[in-house]
Amino acid sequence: MAYKYALVPVIAWFAAGTLKFIINFIRFPGQAVQLIGNGGFPSTHTTVMSSTVFFIGLADGVGPVFGLGVAILMITIIDALGIRRAVGKHASAINQHILPKNGTQPLLRERQGHQPVEVLGGLMLGVIIAYILNKI
């Protein structure tokens, strides 16, 4: 059972990345590979953290480690919804106003943060993964 603590975040990362790629492939067929990375549905960061935290809660109960995990999960969600989303907006403004004049610099990646539904999707996927892996 102890190996699952290390395996859960890896499985969650792979599941979220695969699901995100499939969704991007359906929505934006020619751009799915370029859209790999930050942003999009579901939030990979939230999936990895929530699956790990909820797996700990299900396997060990609600204790100090679970509480610490919830705190880190909250920081992850706040970061995805706030800071990284703001970074994406800044990148968009820079791409529109500064970089095109230069012409030699590659455009900055604008897709950094998440919409609330993308974070909620990551949270739900993480809980489902934790539940399934706890039952196995």
- Helices assigned H by DSSP within 1-136: 2-27, 44-60, 64-78, 84-97, 99-102, 116-135
Cα distances (angstroms) measured from residue 109 to each of 8, 70, 91, 119: 29, 30, 7, 19
The CA distance from 13 to 11, in Å, is: 5
Read off the pLDDT of residues 95-131 as tens digits, 9 standing for 90 and up. Answer: 887 766 656 666 777 777 788 899 999 999 999 999 9
Copy the structure tokens of residue 114: 């998440």
Q: Among the listed ranges 1-5, 42-46, 124-128, which one has the minimum average pLDDT value?
A: 1-5
Cα distance between the two ends of the chain: 10
| pTM listed for this prediction | 0.83
* Res. 37: pLDDT tops 80: no
Copy the structure tokens of residue 59: 């396997």
Phi and psi torsions of 125, nearest 5°: -60, -40
* pLDDT in the model for residue 14: 96
